[in-house]
Structure 1
Amino acid sequence: MKTKERIFYYDFLRTFAIIAVIMCHITFYFGPLNTTSGIIFKQTYYNIGRLGVPIFLMISGALLLNRTYSNLGDFLKRRFSRIIYPFIFWMILITLTNFYFHKPYSYMWNVFIGNPSIAWYFWTLIGIYLAIPIINIFIKEYGEKGCEYFLAIWFIFIILNTFRLYPILPHLKLDWFAGFIGYPVLGYYLSTKKFNISDSKMWKLGLTVLLILFIVLIYYPIGDNFNTVELMYQNLPVVLMGIGTYLFIEYLDNENKFYSIKNSFVGKAISSISLCSYGMYFSHVIVIMFMSKINPHSTLLFPVMFIATIFLSWLLPYVFSKIPYVKKVSGV
């Protein structure tokens, strides 16, 4: 059976996304924050980190939407098995780690249900996978115009959310086709839309949007006062940063800017991290818990601690993926 060729910009985006997630989380552990430069440093890492989840969801939409699924049960079984078994495996390890650090049982339960913990993303994925077959039929039926219709309503929701105006009226709610499901639709749209602009101009446009919104978020942290995960990601600056990042990487790849690294050590490292990214999403929690106990909270040593965290978070699922019977639950 011929192996399907991997699309490098998906691997690049997925690698960026998992590193971004880790960047977001390590800001709570490393470095002093009692100076202006320290606060800006944290804001920089934190706002890069907020791109991780949107990018993951956008890639899912690009890969799963406008496809022919002959059997709904097989689709759900295949998608759920890819995320449920690793989730259970890693949550057991995370729970044991919490037990080692003498966390209360109530805290461990909250970790499992995602309040507060990274597990919220797993439960969000469950909801998205349940919705994908329905959204898929809609997009197959209405195509590009259907995407634009859906995204137009989603953007209204995002704008209202950003300025804390949602819902305008108590019973005028857009939840039915808003929320996180907008990111997969957006990812599919950006990966298939043929813009009447050259690839060179597109990646430059993406980079410009990314940098402008990134600066806006650093100096006007609109999402910092949001107290829920949903509002943290469902606001206009983060959506626009996600669009900028996606277009930047996609059209750089279209111009073959990554050609020189695809088969190099860097390219192979990117592909490996991409393959391990779901396992890394969970493993980095364990790594950070242990690293935070030995970290001297030194800004000078932060780069070393950051690189070590990335490497160890990759190493755990990678090693597990090489063990018979464990590979299936490693998240690789």
Structure 2
Amino acid sequence: MGSNSLQWIHFLRTFSTLAVIILHCTISYGNEFNIKNTSWLTASFINSNMRFCVPVFLMLSGVLLLGKKYSLREFIQKRMSKILLPFLFWSIIYFFMIFPIRRTVYQVGLEFFKAMQGGTCYHLWYIYMIIGVYLFVPIINKWIQNANKYEILFYLLIWFVVLMIDLPVINRLFTRVDWRYFSGFLGYLILGYYLNKNIHVTKNRWFFALIFIIGNLLTFILTYIASRENGEHNKTYYSYLTPNVIMSAIGIFLFFKDRVFKENLFTKIIYFISQYSFWNLSLSRFYNDGSSKNWRCYQHRFCCF
């Protein structure tokens, strides 16, 4: 499995990868809305328990990218290039699978350009999001290196409050203050970094498991209530940027943080899935020895979907 200090990251990444797959498998059933239908309720319940996946991927990115010393050039070469090339490859594949083929090269090129504006397949939304987040990482990383935990916590508290703007009833309380600087998925990277640096879990891990379960139940119950009132499937509380999903992500993140498991067949399977996941290629784990020119890299590579 490699370094025990990194084992928990393999576990979280593997479970998040499986959660993405399960989540997508339930979408078709979830879209067939019927508040009294057992299939819809089951799909909604399963979906509600899988929403932690994307937030956890981003939190792991914060653990592995923030607080490190690297130049802008190093970051662009080692991170963005490993995202953009596979992204372009799969975008082309999906384009020719989904979009009608035109007769001329010009028509194909024009249609491909239009398709790339929004994504040649719906689930590629994440790549557009992560590219935007990664472009800001070198900037926010400079702040992280010089900020104390209270300054980071100040950002996270405002970020959490701002995420409530889109929630029913609560959105009526907000003013016209420009909150955009504290919104979006970037907060998850900072949250992952903060929890990793400042929360040391030695016991009572089941408390965090309880937080995870409560967050999942809130997602399911709030989705059920909102859907029943609207007469259609209301996905407001499925959003990755809602307090209930944040609660789930924090719970499972801290439950596994720094946890060491006994080496056996199960851990080997976990490592295998983690090692050969697609996003394993886009983010390497580097440690700085104290010199900007002296880098050592663990044999494992990490990334977040």
Query: Whole-Å Cα distance in 1 between the matches of residues 83 and 147 of structure 2?
Result: 30
Shift of 1:4: 7.3
Report if the CA contact (8 A) 1:210-1:245 is conserved: yes
Amino acid at match of 1:40: L
**Residue 288 (structure 2) aligns with:** none
Query: Whole-Å Cα distance in 2 between the matches of residues 115 and 275 of structure 1?
Result: 27
Report if the CA contact (8 A) 1:161-1:234 is conserved: no
Report if the CA contact (8 A) 1:24-1:49 is conserved: yes
Query: Whole-Å Cα distance in 2 between the matches of residues 139 and 167 of structure 1?
Result: 31
What TM-score comes out, normalization by structure 2 length?
0.75
Amino acid at match of 1:25: H
Shift of 1:109: 5.0
Shift of 1:139: 1.3
- Shift in CA distance, 166/51, structure 1 to aligned 2, threshold 3 Å: farther
**Residue 81 (structure 1) aligns with:** 81
Query: Whole-Å Cα distance in 1 between the matches of residues 222 and 112 of structure 2?
Result: 33
CA-atom RMSD in angstroms? 3.4
Shift of 1:247: 0.8
**Residue 328 (structure 1) aligns with:** none
Moved more, 111-120 or 150-159: 111-120
Shift of 1:245: 1.0
**Residue 135 (structure 2) aligns with:** 130
Report if the CA contact (8 A) 1:21-1:49 is conserved: yes
**Residue 48 (structure 2) aligns with:** 47
- After superposition, give the CA deviation of every residue in 1:286-312 in whole Å (9 maximum; x if it has no partner): xxxxxxxxxxxxxxxxxxxxxxxxxxx
Number of aligned pairs?
Answer: 265
Report if the CA contact (8 A) 2:51-2:238 is conserved: no
The alignment status of 1:250 with 2:251, answered yes or no, reads no
Shift of 1:181: 0.3
Shift of 1:97: 2.9
The alignment status of 1:150 with 2:176, answered yes or no, reads no
**Residue 165 (structure 1) aligns with:** 171
Query: Whole-Å Cα distance in 2 between the matches of residues 179 and 36 of structure 1?
Result: 34
- After superposition, give the CA deviation of every residue in 1:313-332 in whole Å (9 maximum; x if it has no partner): xxxxxxxxxxxxxxxxxx99
Alignment of 1:1-332 (within 5 A): 7-29=6-28, 36-69=37-70, 71-99=71-99, 110=115, 113-114=118-119, 117-163=122-168, 165=171, 168-170=174-176, 172-195=177-200, 199-201=202-204, 203-221=205-223, 225-226=234-235, 232-250=239-257, 253=259, 256=260, 258-259=261-262, 263-278=263-278
Runs of 4 or more, structure 1, over 6 Å off, are: 3-6, 105-108
Report if the CA contact (8 A) 2:91-2:119 is conserved: no
Query: Whole-Å Cα distance in 2 between the matches of residues 98 and 137 of structure 1?
Result: 42
Amino acid at match of 2:59: M
Name the structure, 1 or 2, with higher relative contact order (CA <8 Å, separation 6+).
Answer: 2
- After superposition, give the CA deviation of every residue in 1:121-141 in whole Å (9 maximum; x if it has no partner): 111111111111111111111
Q: Which runs of 5+ in 1 are unaligned?
A: 281-330
Report if the CA contact (8 A) 1:110-1:117 is conserved: no
Report if the CA contact (8 A) 2:91-2:120 is conserved: no
Shift of 1:66: 0.6
- After superposition, give the CA deviation of every residue in 1:67-116 in whole Å (9 maximum; x if it has no partner): 111x2122122110111111112222222332599xxx979955762487
Report if the CA contact (8 A) 1:139-1:146 is conserved: no
Amino acid at match of 2:22: M
Report if the CA contact (8 A) 1:72-1:133 is conserved: yes
Query: Whole-Å Cα distance in 1 between the matches of residues 16 and 113 of structure 2?
Result: 26
Shift of 1:217: 1.5
- Shift in CA distance, 100/12, structure 1 to aligned 2, threshold 3 Å: farther
Report if the CA contact (8 A) 1:65-1:132 is conserved: yes
Shift of 1:7: 0.8
